[in-house]
């Protein structure tokens, strides 16, 4: 019997901003892997880093944004990668940024858009992403986030 390896070496971050029209999700169009696809922020956890530290670093590296609040989304994104014959599991985080903060994308992306959850659901290519977005909308937008999911150490005032 052969087992499929399970990898947990990256994070996924859904970045949100609150504007007069409601809550918007940041999507980035990929340049490297998944070229042309719209995705949330994702990236590898570096040696010695906690997952939430990787989430903050990836947000900053990919968009030049700083999360004012970071939460564990209390969900993991998971998918099978045929080229690695492995299952990847990524803890998902929810980062809130200032509504007027300027996005500056890095070389990994060709463009960005702030969109409604409804629009985002039509833009992302994978069912797992849509599942994560529905969860984030239900638990972080339609209701007050559970305070125990706030990562205090990630707060700029901590």
Q: What is the pLDDT of residue 157?
A: 53
- Locate 74 and state its tokens: 């209390």
Cβ 117 vs Cβ 94: under 8 Å: no
CA 30 distance to own-chain centroid: 14
Domains of the chain with bracketed CATH: 6-154 (3.90.79.10)
pTM: 0.94
Q: What is the pLDDT of residue 131?
A: 97
CA distance 120 to 110: 17
CA distance 31 to 155: 30
Cβ 149 vs Cβ 73: under 8 Å: yes
Which residue from 41, 29, 34 is spatially nearest to 93, judged by alpha carbons? 41
* Ordered per-residue pLDDT tens for the chain, 158 residues: 989 999 999 999 999 999 999 999 999 999 987 888 999 999 999 999 999 999 999 999 999 999 999 999 999 999 999 999 999 999 999 999 999 999 999 999 999 999 999 999 999 999 999 999 999 999 999 999 999 999 987 666 54
Which residue from 79, 100, 91, 93 is spatially nearest to 4, judged by alpha carbons? 79
Strands (E), 8-85: 10-19, 22-30, 38-39, 41-44, 69-81
């Amino acid at each position: 019997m052969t087992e499929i390896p399970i990898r947990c070496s990256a994070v996924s971050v859904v970045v949100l901003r609150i504007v007069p029209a409601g809550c918007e999700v940041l999507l980035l169009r990929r340049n490297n892997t998944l070229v042309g696809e719209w995705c949330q922020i994702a990236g590898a956890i570096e040696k010695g880093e906690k997952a939430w530290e990787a989430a903050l670093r990836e947000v900053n590296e990919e968009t030049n944004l700083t999360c004012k609040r970071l939460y564990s989304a209390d969900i993991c994104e998971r998918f099978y990668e045929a080229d690695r014959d492995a299952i990847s599991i990524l803890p998902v985080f929810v980062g809130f940024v200032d509504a007027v903060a300027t996005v500056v994308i890095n070389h990994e992306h060709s463009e960005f858009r702030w969109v409604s959850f409804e629009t985002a659901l039509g833009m992302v290519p994978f069912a797992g992403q849509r599942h994560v977005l529905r969860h984030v909308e239900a638990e972080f937008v339609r209701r007050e986030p559970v305070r125990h999911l706030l990562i205090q150490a990630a707060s700029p005032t901590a």
